[in-house]
Structure 1
Amino acid sequence: MKLLAHILCLSLALAMGWADSHHEHTHEAEPDRCKGLEMDAAVTCVLGGAFFFSHDHLFKGFHGKAELSNESFPGLDDHHHHVDAAFLMHYEDEPTEHKRVFLFLDDKVFSYHEHKLEDGYPKAISEVFPGIPDHLDAAVECPKPECDEDSVIFFKGDDIYHYTVKTKAVEEKEFTSMPNCTSALRFMEHYYCFHGHMFSKFDPKTGEVHGKYPKEARDYFMRCSKFSEDSDHVERERCSRVHLDAITTDDAGNMYAFRGHHFIEKEEGNDTLKADTIESDFKELHSEVDAVFTYESHLYMIKDEEVFVYKIGEPHTLLDGYPKPVKEELGIEGPIDAAFMCGDHHIAHIIKGDHIFDVDMKASPHTASDERPIALFKKVDAAMCGAGGVKVIVGSHFYHFDSPMLLVAGKALPEQHRVSMELFGCDH
């Protein structure tokens, strides 16, 4: 069963660097992903999600602090310099148990399967990938038909190498329309070249860059509170690769979506989007909403162990007496991952981990009851319900169910949809 849930592989930590094995290594200062630093390498996790390398640290996903590489991979204690390049070996013809992550350091390559360094590694790059030079700048996988054959694209300065996995043939190409890459990433079937703290989306066959690039990487691949003055907030939130924290629709069908320090408001019946900071409209919340649902023209917004209830309208007004503890207001212990209500029903559906609870909003006091397991998801980022049914958001995708009952009873994942494209109309 395929489950695209980057949260399932957040345990995969991949970073390393070189050090003189005869001297004690001193770790570099912990990097801050929101300071505009240059990432040394990037790689996609086996089940989705992205990982970014900076010197001897690793960033997991799109937010959170850096971690030392040797905390996740103690076998790399003798190698603590920056990773030059990384890619995920994952093709249709390759058995699931052989999905591997390759890391390149100077003239060596390391191969990992499920956190563990494979026997015989590290090896010389020339031994594993003949024809590929040492001291690479970036690498990215390119499965067919995105490339003519299952391939890996290697970058070194102005030189581009297409390496065919089966035949080990190497073809040098010229990508004249894109800058030199310091790292590269295949994500959601698109290809990204990172250069400094900027990125460009490119065609893996030709290197052509279409659209308005380069763009600020922190706007689309990081969840940071502040961005450059040149950032287009609506464009960023519409097309961000970072998962949503919460989402809901009001009685009029207007959609509210929350991500980090920002939120998106989309009016029913048109494609108009408003994007702003959460603090600008919900000043008591500041940022980082865990879950939200709509009931009787009010937004119930859950953050940590508290519930904030706002009257829908301009401006959004916090009701007297709030915030209140989650346990007091909903009869369940926090934290909560997602929440939703369907139409004019009075049952709030609360999701914690892989279980769902019902809260009758007309009952007094509110209590969480009818606990049921959700077989399809270990963790949900956000969920909402409308006339068309329930949308469950995991990572950069969402899944549609006709009803809460079918969500609970589901045994196979329905069709996968892209949040940025199908909910917000992003065209790239």
Structure 2
Amino acid sequence: MIPYLGTLLCLLPLGLPYPLIKGRPNDTGSNLFPVNPPSLNVTGLADACNGEGFDAVTLDDQGVMHYFRGDFVWAGFHGPAQRINETWKHLHGPIDAAFRNHNKNKPLEHQRTYIFQGSNVFCYFEGSLLAGFPRPISQEFPGVPGNLDSAVECHSGECKADSAIFFKGDTVYIYSPQEVPPVKQRQWAAVGNCTAAVRWLERYYCFNGINFTRFNPVSGEVLSARPLDTRDYFVRCPGRGHGHNVRQNATLMAIKNRCSGQSFEAFSSDDKGRMYAFRGGWYFRTDDNKDGWHPWPLSHTWRDLHGAVDAAFSWENKMYFIQGSQVVIYLSDQIYIPVLGYPKPLIDELGVTEIDAAFTCPHSSELYVIRDNELRMVDLQQSPRSPARERTISHSQVDSAMCNFNGLFIFQGPLFYHYKDVEELVSSTEPPKPGNIAERFLDCLS
């Protein structure tokens, strides 16, 4: 929540900024770095670019980002500000805080958008105010105070359990009804006073006026080197935006544009269903695109990991990355934690010297490595590890491979080949009909 400013100027619409990329049925990825972004100037409303910041920022159940300030809200990536009560019925601004709840174990609460105002909370789903709301915050979230500054949800796996984080003054309230006690208080001096907060694509952002920082939702550690301006990342403003330089670098643009057709060096899926695509030192999370797309540097998620990876796979709550003749391992917890003693030589860790692709299937200790047209199995439970005999496959060149609950995928250039399992791969005399990687895994149209 920011102090309400009575003077409201003209509007520039909330355009689609570089980070906030929503997939569309006709998406080719060209909206990632638009050359001529739309610019509307509607007088009499609020200006998203005037440096005032926002009272609250949240996603709704459709994956649309909403920015609240005073009596106005900017919804999605296009169009002018609207009065809050035009889209959020029975609600008048200003508001204090908002978040989209995440709790798959409670379907009647999951994906609901909670909006806080004074001592009351409103709850919306599919554009409607739910019955029984507004109601006192103390009734819906016992132990959480009113007149909040900001709030944000935290997902299980990123926090210990599905929970909500509330900011008021110097105190942080962690609300997790599954735990005892259900409310814990913290002092996060490094984060400071968050006038708004939001979770987007596994990342947590604290806004202080027009600036924002990224933070760890468990420890309160600030992960940004310095505060950044919201107008360069979250809203499109004339003459601003950190994506402009990318258009001048065709190589980098092809890497960061998921729909460019450039090949990926690795795909990986873990037992929790998380799926990643790696290219040129960057990665996309591909298993859930509801909230949009964004390329991230490897080091954002895997500390000290930089550059291209040759292969990646998961086993027993650990993620392995192979770069050249070296392998590095990360423990998969609420964050990825580097295992001490790595990197190590590939020959010492897996008993092989070169790899084009590698994969494990769910809940299996059998690692399969591919080099040229040869497939070998390494039992990860053995010590020392040594590969089994070679088995020939019908692919002469492989960029990457991945096995999950949907089967086995071989990736080559812009195409993928789907097999039921390893035995079907080795028994096939020729590859099956290929599919398009960008269409199947990245929500693009060719």
TM-score, structure 2 as length reference: 0.47
Structure possessing the higher relative contact order (Cα contacts under 8 Å, 6 or more residues apart): 2
